[in-house]
Amino acid sequence: MQQNGTTILLVHPLGYSAKQAGSDISRVANIMPPLGLASISAYLTAHGLRNDIIDCYAHPDAGDRIIAYLQAENSAFIGFSCTTSSFFDGERLARLAKSIQPGIRVVFGGVHVSAVREAVLDAYPVIDYAVVGEGEETLRELLATPEERRNAVEGLVLRGADGKAFFTGRRGKLLDLDSLPFPDYKKLAGYPESYTLPIFNYPKAPNGSCISSRGCPYACSYCDRSVFGRTFRYNSAGYLYRHVLFLKETYGLRHLNFYDDQFTFNRQRVVDFCRMVMGKPLGMTFNCAARAEHLDFELLQLMKAAGCWMISLGIETGDELLLAAHRQNVDLQMMRDKIALIKKAGIRVKGLLMMGLPGETEASIKKSKAYVFSLPIDDFNLSKFTPFPGSPVYKQIKEAGETMGTFMEDWEKMDCMAFQFVPRGIELARMEELFIDFYRSHFQRPRVIWGYVAMLWKSPDSWLRFLGNLSSFIRFVATNKRIGG
């Protein structure tokens, strides 16, 4: 291993050209820090491995910084954490890195490569290694192991003597999340000001995001579980309290979004955390995401007392038959009842929906629209269904071919902002019309309009951001891009 310079430069790709970033409404509305990379960075540092992070998504001009960095630093490795849509940008930057430092080793990780594994190295020779699953220990071992012995590192895809890619298998032992250092936020340039939560989704700034669990025990057809599988691990209430206190004292955060898939899955953990906050208040509010079946009024009252400002629920669709084909525990009346309880507790509700699931029809879209508009939710996000590699439905669609619908599979457009799959029986142009109509109808309702007016005093910073980017939001209404999660 090289002794001078950093061991590895960690990069979060932008996903498209820097020129497009200024007109991308999703960046205006929401820039989330790459918490996975920040966690890996802290873990590597704790084990004596020097590293830095460059986040191209938060800083679209960071491509020039990568060039300058590699010209100044003699890094042994460069690592990229990629989604499906940002993979090609990562691959482009990897080729750029090798043009500057031909001997640098390229490592890819993240949800996309965890799903496609060996195919990544077989198709893209610039990539030397792919980390499958949880990244901290696999990457640490890779960096610390001589090249001739790296085929023994669990969780790694690499090339054999014959040049063919092979996978060493998943790690047998996963990390105890309470043993991890807090993510290395200080390596994220401009943190926290460079990062923003979805507009109208928080009361105060500065704000930030935190992940306190990994995985999800459910097996919804549309979710990619390539990284964590169906395991579910979580930080204890005590660790979580210390983490939030650290963010408050170090960065002055006033609101936090817990980016967990299922924040309330372990009820007792949330109860203990809320009681800690109530005993020693942090002066912060928070958002989280939950499944309706893991909420009850007593828990909601505790969460409200501890500062819970909003809960996001995955409604997905208001057509119960369609929903039953894609997830477990389908009960739209239960969903309605739990939303009523959330509102009764004084907490805002955001509904998360998608359009274009296999089996979707104009009738199901109409039914979904009627159901959602009958709910007392405060905000909603409608995304364009995308079958990501690693999700059960991706395999089903690939095997079924045209019988389920048309799948374009343009990786650069697989970001839930463009229809890449169109269900059989509906034309793409009609899907776009229905999507736009859904959004416009929502924003034209008097109750919704008044709700956003109320944000003048509930979230004044959101209004300042909205007015400062008004032209971009007007373009959004016309081009139907998605705003946040």
Tens digit of each residue's pLDDT, the chain (485 residues) = 344 457 999 999 998 766 665 666 667 678 999 999 999 999 999 999 999 999 999 998 888 899 999 999 889 999 999 999 999 999 999 999 999 999 999 999 999 999 999 999 999 999 999 999 999 999 999 999 999 999 999 999 999 999 999 999 999 899 999 999 999 999 999 999 999 999 999 999 999 999 999 988 888 999 987 887 778 899 999 999 999 999 999 999 999 999 999 999 999 999 999 999 999 999 999 999 999 999 999 999 999 999 999 999 999 999 999 999 999 888 999 999 999 999 999 999 999 999 999 999 999 999 999 999 999 999 999 999 999 999 999 999 999 988 999 999 999 999 998 999 999 999 999 999 999 999 999 989 999 999 989 998 999 999 888 887 766 656 655 554 443 44
Q: Domain of 372?
A: 197-479
Q: Is residue 142 part of a domain?
A: yes
pLDDT at 217: 86
Is 184 in contact with 41 (CB distance < 8 Å)?
yes
* 167, 188, 210 - which closes a domain: 167
pLDDT at 476: 56
* Cis? peptide before 33, omega within 30° of 0: no
* 123, 151, 167 - which closes a domain: 167
Same domain, 116 and 201: no
| Distances from the Cα of 399 to the Cα of 116, 221, 296, 360, 396, angstroms | 16, 14, 40, 18, 5
Q: Is residue 173 part of a domain?
A: no
Give the CATH number, domain containing residue 419. Answer: 3.80.30.20
Q: Is residue 309 part of a domain?
A: yes
Same domain, 14 and 134: yes
Same domain, 220 and 72: no
Same domain, 427 and 471: yes
The CA distance from 106 to 351, in Å, is 39
Q: Is residue 175 part of a domain?
A: no
Same domain, 245 and 381: yes
Same domain, 205 and 329: yes
C-beta atoms surrounding 264 within 10 Å? 22
The CA distance from 60 to 182, in Å, is 26
pLDDT at 484: 40
Please give the tally of structural domains in the chain: 2
Q: Is residue 45 part of a domain?
A: yes
Query: In a 3-state reduction of DSSP, which class is residue 116?
Result: helix
| Distances from the Cα of 434 to the Cα of 25, 402, 424, angstroms | 20, 22, 15
Same domain, 123 and 236: no
Same domain, 277 and 415: yes
Q: Is residue 183 part of a domain?
A: no
Q: Is residue 190 part of a domain?
A: no
Give the CATH number, domain containing residue 14. Answer: 3.40.50.280
Q: Which two tokens stand for residue 331?
A: 């009960």
